[in-house]
Amino acid sequence: MSAIFDDFPVPGKQVPGDFAKTGQSLSIFLAPAGIVAAARYMKDRQYFIEDVTGLDLAEGFCALYHFAHFEKPGRVTLRVLASRENPAIPSITGVYQGAEWHERETRDFFGIIFEGNPNDGPLLLADEDVAPPLLKDDAKRAVLQKAWPYEAMGVNPVPAAKPAPAAAKPATPATEVTK
């Protein structure tokens, strides 16, 4: 696999990975608005989605989409950072129907909202009023800049804060939930 997609249709920063160390050949940082086009690009090149998961970082919530190919070696990770105030990312279920389950699981555990997911109810948690259990306290959140020196890469993946939609519940660390 070429380390870079020369014809990638979405603005983003492509960072070659060390497959031997990380299992990733390429990571691409995208704005939330670019995820659907990026997923379509991956599907058009016959990549399949392995999973969707999240990270609770100091800068916001990062959704990670892992893709692989049956015939080409290498793994590609699309990274999308959403603000803490409005942790919303467009759903890719219109491209990869199997992403529905992964997005629901990520919503359960991190509180990231995947707008347009046709079945966005809880998947594994019994009650929507339960705070996402994988949220961290402020002091324990990793700083993205330390893990991925994005400023040195010439990209700022941190989105501008937007007001949360009226229907969205603010994410609260699980340690603050009382019965």
CATH code: domain of residue 88: 3.30.460.80
Looking only at Cα atoms, what is the longest distance across the chain? 52
Task: Record the pTM.
Answer: 0.78
Residue at 144 is within a domain = yes
Residue at 3 is within a domain = no
Q: How much is the pLDDT for 125? A: 75
Residue at 7 is within a domain = no
Selection from 13, 100, 113 nearest residue 63 by Cα:
113
Is the torsion defined by CA of 34, 168, 155, 63 positive or negative? negative
In which domain, by residue range, is 157 found?
A: 12-162
Q: How many domains does the chain have?
A: 1
Predicted confidence pLDDT, tens digits, the chain (179 residues): 445 688 888 888 888 888 888 778 888 988 899 999 999 999 999 999 999 999 888 888 899 999 999 998 889 999 998 988 889 999 999 999 999 999 999 998 888 999 999 987 777 777 666 777 567 776 766 676 566 555 554 555 555 444 444 444 445 554 444 44
